[in-house]
């Protein structure tokens, strides 16, 4: 992979999207069919987020500052539990403690997911012992990255994504085997 990598600020290759929370005292904003993300939905080291604990309505979207992210876009927690990261598999809205992230021209969301995962780990390591309790828009201005060409980004993301897919499949198989073992144990001893 001999193409040139360019040094850039992270802010120059990502679009940051702010979230919001519909007013809780409006019951017609809650319980709809739009998944609404908070960090508890994706703070689990899984690449993808499939579902949310809470949902909102179209009215909730219209009457708050939340936005709806598209499949493939990235969610990162910016306050409280800082740096949890996931990629969406379906459209979802999200709260103001997170940023939605979308690749600008010249970048690829699948690659950015892995780049951000590595970058957040480095930020947490560098600030270990110091206060790292918020990611702001300015944080993205100060992070320098080396960005490969789009074909290289796609190749890197494909390799890492294939490994993540295998890890997820193994996790699901382990859960299935655990359920089978529990059922067998109950049938023998309960």
Question: Would residue 1 count as lying in a domain?
Answer: no
* Beta-strand pair 85-88/74-77: antiparallel
φ, ψ dihedrals at 81, nearest 5°: -80, 100
Q: Specify if 71 maps to a domain.
A: yes
Helix (H) or strand (E) holding 147: strand 144-147
pLDDT of residue 140: 87
Tell me what pLDDT residue 91 has. 98
Q: Residue 96's pLDDT is what?
A: 96
The 10 Å Cβ neighbour count of residue 94 is 30
Tell whether 180 is covered by a domain.
yes
> What is the tally of structural domains in the chain?
1
Structure confidence at residue 138 (pLDDT): 87
The boundaries of the domain holding residue 45 are 6-189
> Which residues, in sequence order, are CB contacts of 42 under 8 Å at separation 6+?
49, 75, 77, 84, 85, 86
Q: What is the pLDDT of residue 125?
A: 65
Show pLDDT as tens, one digit a residue, over the chain (190 residues). Answer: 456 788 899 999 999 999 999 999 999 999 999 999 999 999 998 999 999 999 999 999 999 999 999 999 999 999 888 889 999 999 999 999 999 999 999 999 999 999 999 888 777 666 555 555 788 888 888 888 889 999 999 999 999 988 988 888 888 899 899 999 999 988 888 7
Structure tokens at 118: 């590595």
Q: What is the CATH number of the domain that holds 117?
A: 3.90.220.20
Instruction: Give domain status of residue 56, yes or no.
Output: yes
Global pTM exceeds 0.85: no
- pLDDT for residue 119: 87
Strand bridging mode 54-56 / 30-37? antiparallel
Q: Is 178 helix (H, G, I), strand (E, B) or coil?
A: helix
């Amino acid at each position: 992979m001999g193409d040139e990598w360019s040094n850039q600020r992270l802010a120059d290759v990502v679009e940051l999207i702010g979230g919001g929370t519909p007013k809780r005292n409006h019951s017609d904003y809650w319980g709809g069919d739009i998944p609404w993300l908070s960090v508890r939905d994706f703070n689990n080291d899984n690449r993808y987020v499939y579902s949310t604990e809470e949902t909102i309505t179209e009215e909730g979207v219209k009457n708050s500052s939340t936005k709806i992210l598209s499949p493939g876009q990235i969610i990162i927690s910016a306050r409280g539990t800082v740096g949890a990261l996931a990629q969406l598999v379906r459209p979802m809205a999200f709260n103001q403690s997170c940023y939605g992230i979308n690749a600008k021209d010249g970048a690829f969301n699948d690659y950015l997911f892995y780049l951000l995962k590595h970058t957040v780990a480095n930020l947490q390591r560098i600030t270990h012992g110091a206060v790292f309790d918020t990611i702001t828009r300015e944080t993205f201005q100060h992070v320098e990255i080396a960005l490969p060409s789009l074909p290289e980004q796609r190749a890197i993301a494909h390799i890492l994504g294939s490994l993540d897919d295998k890890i997820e499949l193994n996790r699901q198989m382990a859960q299935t085997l655990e359920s089978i073992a529990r059922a067998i144990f109950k049938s023998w001893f309960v």
